[in-house]
Amino acid sequence: MLSLNSDTLERLNATLPASLASRRREALREYGRLDMPNPKEENWKYVTLGFDLDHMTIPATPGDSLPEGDFLAALTNRAGSAVMVDGRLIGVENHSEAWLGSATEAWEAYPPSDLLTPDTDKFAAAALAFSSDGISLRIPRNRAVDAPFVIDVQSTLPDTVTFPSLDIRAEENSEATVVVLFRSPDGMASVMVPNLQTTVGYGARLSVTTVGIMGTEGVTVMHHRSRIGRDATFRAGEIGLGGRLARIDLRTTLEGAGGSVEVVGLYFGEMEQVLDYRLVVNHVGRSTSSDVFLKGAVEDQAQSIFTGLLRIEEDAVGTSAFETNRNLVLSDGAKANSVPNLEILCNDIICGHGSSVGPLETEPMYYLMSRGLSRERAERVLVRGFFEEAIDRLPLDDLDEPARQAVNRRFAEAQEGGRV
């Protein structure tokens, strides 16, 4: 195992280009300067981590790959796939004209997007300094890839931290779909800090869906940065189910005129899970549009957090921006925090936001029971219906059924165990 220090950094730097090694040393200095985040910071409000990166180690070699699971089994038709285990790229298959492979090998021809900066927080600095491997996906200009690319990111060794790096770029007038899964075994404590960067070029169309299915003691702290060019379309999907703590810090910048972004997702927390979503959509270009739509539920003592900011810059005339977060609280000990925000510096816009937090509605419940359904059956119907709109809007239809089965099974098991 390798500690998070300068010796480990130089070991990782040994085979890297000089310019990349220099950047990683700068990130290490920032890592040493920063403290671990705490709930007193606005961007970490409501979250108590309970661990310190300084006391963790990086695997020197990867462990054994995990079994496939329901979500991967549903993705049978693939344009390409890559598997990363414990921070190391162990396998790549590519059946398309796109470039898919090691980010280190692609460094000269396809330099990374550099959208994440080390001063974001201590996790971001560590991700930039200690990433031992990365995946680069480049969709060539004027190419459309019909089948999805599937990236399977695994953590398999206990009491370790890994820093997988993923850089996805859709070049001019290209089109592609990507699914990224984050997984670990149940009952195994580990921390994964992914750095996901997406760049959508002029007129391109890209969708990226992340599926968080870490084990019960796994922790994910992901930074996702995206840049949207002129007349480009980006769709970000999210399915959040696993982990003791699963956090996504998503910041999207609509730079070019006519660009659009849609963020759609669902999450379901149980036991003592914390599902944490921090979103910023920054409208810079003219006539851009965004739509954020997230639905979630929590039961037992689980907690969900949503803080979203739509920022409309001074010159972003003709902007259309909307933000919606809906939450079900299914037991007395569960809690949902929803804080949508707008920052508007331009007058010529259409903009709105909304959020809700509450239990299942009583009137539909009584209606279903009056038609002969038991209370338990009526509750299941309402929970299923609550998530259906979000599931229908996911960027890839192949994920609909495993997502639907997962949330329905989670609530049914809680009912059968008397937890809701």
Note the pLDDT tens digit of each residue in 348-395: 999 999 999 999 999 999 999 999 999 999 999 999 999 999 999 999
pLDDT at 112 over 80: no
Angle at 286 between CA 229 and CA 166, to 5 degrees: 25
pLDDT at 251 over 90: yes
Q: Which of 220, 239, 174, 162 is nearest to 200 (CA)?
A: 174
Domain contains 406: no
Domain contains 367: no
Q: How far apart are CA 214 and CA 243, in angstroms?
A: 5
pLDDT for residue 184: 98
Q: Which of 24-33, 113-122, 215-224 has the lowest mean pLDDT?
A: 113-122
Domain contains 245: yes
pTM: 0.96
pLDDT at 114 over 90: no
What's the domain count of the chain? 1
What are the tokens at 290? 């965004």
Domain contains 94: yes
Domain that holds residue 76: 2-362
Domain contains 388: no
pLDDT for residue 22: 87
Domain contains 417: no
Domain contains 403: no
pLDDT band at 233 (very low <50, low <70, confident <90, very high): very high
SS3 content of the chain, % helix, strand, coil (to 5): 20, 40, 40
Domain contains 407: no
Three-state SS for 316?
coil
Q: How far apart are CA 52 and CA 163, in angstroms?
A: 15
271: left (phi over 0), alpha (psi -120 to 50) or beta: left
Share of the chain above pLDDT 70, in %: 100
Average pLDDT rounded to a whole number, residues 305-323: 97
